[in-house]
Amino acid sequence: MADVFKVTTRMEGKYAILYTEGYINNLAGDKIVEEFNQLVAKDVKHYVLNLQKTQLVNSIGISILIEVIEKVQEIGGTLAFCHLTPIIAKTFKIMGLTQYSKVYDTEEDALKN
C-alpha cells in the first residue's frame, strides 16, 4: 500500500473527531498518536475516530489503537469509532477493542451517544 496516510481533526463541542484516510499501520498509528497527544495537551478528553476512508488496519495499527484506548482511560475520557468496514469491525471485536470503546455506524450516532 503506497497510499499516504492522513489524519485530520475537527472539534464538535467537547469531542475531537479524528478522520483517518488510508491504511493504518505503524507509521499511520504514530500519526494518530501524535495528533491524539496534541489534543490531550489541550485537555480534550472525548474522541471519535471516523474510519470512513480507511479500508485496512494491520496488527501493529491495532496495537497502537489499544495504546490510545489505554491513554483515554487514564485521562477519564471516552473513545468511539465510526464508519468501520465490516472486516475492521469484526477485527476490533475479536481483538477486544470494543470492550473499552464504542462503535457506531455513523459520526452523528457517535456524537449523540
> Is the residue at 89 inside a domain?
yes
User: Counting Cβ atoms within 10 Å, is residue 89 exposed (0-12), middle (13-18) or buried (19+)?
Assistant: middle
> Is the residue at 29 inside a domain?
yes
CATH code at 81?
3.30.750.24
Contact 8, 19 (CB under 8 A): yes
* Structural domain span for residue 106: 6-112
Instruction: Quote the pLDDT of residue 69.
Output: 97
Instruction: Quote the pLDDT of residue 44.
Output: 98
Under-50 pLDDT residues of the chain: 1
Instruction: Quote the pLDDT of residue 12.
Output: 96
> Is the residue at 39 inside a domain?
yes
The neighbouring-strand residues paired with 49 are 18, 81
Instruction: Quote the pLDDT of residue 3.
Output: 63
> Is the residue at 16 inside a domain?
yes
> Is the residue at 1 inside a domain?
no
Contact 91, 80 (CB under 8 A): no
Instruction: Quote the pLDDT of residue 4.
Output: 86
